[in-house]
């Protein structure tokens, strides 16, 4: 039982990190049909710049803010420079964003050096609680709580604010939002920057969790992010949380019980979803 | 008095076919005009030219004396020219209220201050509810739009058009595809908008009794040309119009009640 709970918490924490990456992806795709393979690059940049600021300032919170600011700025640059010229053309989007992803990864090596960097959990989040037989690592609980809080905030913004209404409507039918005279490009830039900041934030939280950061980690997590987007339903925000948790749990349990399947399990999940429910598991046609 | 909207030699050519051919029309503010004509006469194309969905091959449109040649349909909506579509066009997974709210808030620029404007949020909601009352949908405020009947969707669409708060309303066959029982309600809705007295309304319809009931004037399009324009009784007595419909090009929908 204690093992089960440990694996469960571990999977949940991983799921939350993937959610932070996938939530931006799903809204970016849902709103403007943009396939953004550079999203993982923002994840790594968030991790590196956040850890850089953390080391420099000594404060983990300031480090997180640094990562978020980096995400916003890089998101703005990416949207203006890379995405705007290729609206509506998926092939060009895949090529240029994949290319930009590589550029972002290589720039990491130029700026921060090619070696992987070890990262420690800040002292007040280090350690664990012992509840009966079960050992609960504090930092994992921290990630789960933060993930749920972020989900709550975004759910509120989507359901209860004017901009949220525009985003949800835009995911359903962006042409018609434009017919109403709403400048959807402006809304999209906002969504893109927010999604990028979330990815950067996710990268920053990931760093102490995995204990080490390296330039290629963006690609690995971006793939998980895309799997989550497909499983959860393109454009579905709440779907991306459910799917991310599912992927996180599947990875965690498989790695223990059927280790040789742990890498394949997400692909298998995605294949099953695509065969039986191609619109996504947790969506009734893009409800957001 | 300067007409609120007029066209000058408005024409559009698709290949060898002139779908709208040299139409000179004008309308005074707060007037109710219907457009009739057999299928394929160019009525909807004419609307598409006015709203900016299509660019004319020749001719120009003037809104309050100002040419609209360089304005996109979005800019035309901002300047006061709003249209409904022949096919219903609502956001299926939003509630009725959210659909109208979206149209209300589209009148202002997109801003990113979510936290401050709770009061404003409320006033937008109130305005949306009020408009829904006007189109007799106040009992469906929280229904999801995809669950509505066809007639209710058309009403919702009119509500969204009203929410844009344009001076001119272009209504493209609001009763299209409706069952007979649903027609009187939509007639009531359009009549109440007319009686409120602040809108200029241009209506395309096939239901002749509805047209005669509502219109201050009627214009007849035939093969893309403006055949006649006058009061309902003038149009009914007009020989050219009678010949056009009875001379083998008679459209049964036109005179069927």
Q: Which domains, ranges and CATH numbers included, belong to chain B?
A: 1-71+199-257 (3.40.50.300)
Give how far Cα A141 sits from Cα of A43, A137, A227, B21, B78, Å: 21, 7, 24, 71, 51
Contact A161 B89 (CB under 8 A): no
- pLDDT of chain A, 288 residues: tens digit per residue: 788 998 999 999 999 999 999 988 988 888 878 889 999 999 999 999 999 999 999 999 999 999 999 999 999 999 999 999 988 888 999 999 999 999 999 999 999 999 999 999 998 998 888 888 888 899 999 999 999 999 999 999 888 888 888 999 988 888 888 878 788 888 899 999 999 999 999 999 999 999 999 998 888 888 899 999 999 988 888 999 999 999 999 999 998 999 888 878 888 989 999 998 888 887 654 444
Q: How many CB pairs under 8 A join A and B?
A: 69
**B74 at the A interface (CB within 8 A)?**
yes
> Are A169 and B101 within 8 A, CB to CB?
no
pTM of this structure: 0.81
- The minimal CB distance from B112 to the residues A169, A178, A190 is found for A190
User: Which residues in chain B (205-244) have CB-CB distances under 8 A to chain A?
Assistant: none
CA–CA distances in Å: residue B158 to residues A128, A194, B141, B162, B189? 60, 34, 14, 6, 9
- C-alpha span between A61 and A146 (Å, rounded): 13
Judge: A166–B98 Cβ closer than 8 Å, yes or no. Answer: no
Give all strands (DSSP E) within chain B, no chain letters: 5-14, 17-23, 26-27, 32-36, 58-63, 66-67, 81-83, 168-172, 200-204, 217-222, 225-230
| Strand B17-23 with B5-14, pairing | antiparallel
Q: Distance, in angstroms, between B240 CA and closest chain A CA?
A: 38
* Cβ-nearest to A163 among B98, B112, B164: B112
Interface test with A, best of B83, B87, B91, B145 (most A CBs within 10 A): B91
Distant-in-sequence, close-in-space partners of B57: CB < 8 Å, separation ≥ 6: B11, B12, B13
B250–chain A Cβ distance below 8 A for any pair: no
Which H helix or E strand runs over A135? strand A134-137
Phi, psi of A115 (to 5 degrees): -85, 155
Q: Do B93 and A286 touch (CB under 8 A)?
A: yes
What is d(CA A14, CA A143) in angstroms, rounded to the nearest whole number? Answer: 8
Cα–Cα distance measured from residue A283 to residue A134, given in angstroms and rounded to the nearest whole number? 35
């Amino acid at each position: 039982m204690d093992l089960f709970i440990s694996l469960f918490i571990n999977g949940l924490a991983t799921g939350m990190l993937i959610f932070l990456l996938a939530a931006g992806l799903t809204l970016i795709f849902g709103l403007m049909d943009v396939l953004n393979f550079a999203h993982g690059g923002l994840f790594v940049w968030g991790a590196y710049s956040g850890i850089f600021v953390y080391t420099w300032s000594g404060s983990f919170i300031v480090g997180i803010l640094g990562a978020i600011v980096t995400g916003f700025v890089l998101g703005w640059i990416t949207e203006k420079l890379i995405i705007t010229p290729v609206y509506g053309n998926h092939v060009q989007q895949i090529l240029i964003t994949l290319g930009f992803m590589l550029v972002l990864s290589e720039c990491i090596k130029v700026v921060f050096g090619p070696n992987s960097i070890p990262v420690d959990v800040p002292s007040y989040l280090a350690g664990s609680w012992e509840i009966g037989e079960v050992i609960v690592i504090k930092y994992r609980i921290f990630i789960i709580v933060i993930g749920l809080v972020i989900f709550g905030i975004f759910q509120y913004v989507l359901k209860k604010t004017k901009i949220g209404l525009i985003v949800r409507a835009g995911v359903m039918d962006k042409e018609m939002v434009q017919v109403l005279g709403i400048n959807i490009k402006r809304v999209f830039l906002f969504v893109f920057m927010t999604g990028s900041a979330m990815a950067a934030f996710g990268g920053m939280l990931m760093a102490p969790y995995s204990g080490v950061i390296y330039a290629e980690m963006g690609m690995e997590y971006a793939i998980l992010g895309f799997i989550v987007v497909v499983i959860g339903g393109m454009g579905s925000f709440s779907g991306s949380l459910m799917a991310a948790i599912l992927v996180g749990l599947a990875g965690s349990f498989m790695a223990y019980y059927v280790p040789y399947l742990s890498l394949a399990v997400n692909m298998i999940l995605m294949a099953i979803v695509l065969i039986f429910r191609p619109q996504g598991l947790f969506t009734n046609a893009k409800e957001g | 008095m300067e007409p609120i909207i007029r066209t000058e030699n408005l024409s559009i050519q698709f290949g060898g076919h002139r779908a709208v051919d040299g139409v000179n029309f004008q309308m005074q503010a707060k007037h109710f005009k219907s457009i009739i004509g057999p299928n394929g006469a160019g009525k909807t194309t004419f609307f598409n030219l006015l709203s900016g969905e299509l660019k004319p091959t020749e001719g120009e449109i003037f809104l309050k004396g100002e040419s609209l040649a360089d304005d996109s349909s979005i800019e035309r909506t901002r300047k006061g020219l709003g249209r409904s579509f022949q096919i219903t066009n609502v956001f299926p997974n939003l509630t009725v209220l959210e659909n109208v709210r979206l149209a209300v808030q589209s009148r202002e620029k997109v801003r990113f201050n979510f936290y401050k404007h709770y009061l404003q949020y409320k006033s937008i909601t109130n305005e949306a509810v009020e408009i829904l009352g006007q189109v007799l949908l106040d009992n469906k405020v929280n229904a999801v739009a995809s669950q509505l009947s066809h007639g209710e969707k058309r009403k919702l669409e009119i509500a969204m058009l009203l929410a844009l708060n344009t001076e001119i309303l272009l209504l493209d066959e609001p009763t299209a595809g409706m069952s007979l029982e649903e027609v009187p309600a939509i007639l009531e809705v359009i009549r109440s908008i007319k009686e409120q007295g602040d809108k200029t309304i241009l209506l395309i319809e096939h239901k002749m009794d509805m047209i005669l009931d509502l219109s201050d004037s009627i214009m007849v399009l035939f093969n893309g040309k403006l055949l006649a324009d006058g009061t309902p009784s003038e149009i009914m007595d007009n020989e050219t119009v009678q010949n056009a419909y009875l001379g083998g090009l008679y459209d049964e929908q036109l005179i069927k009640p």
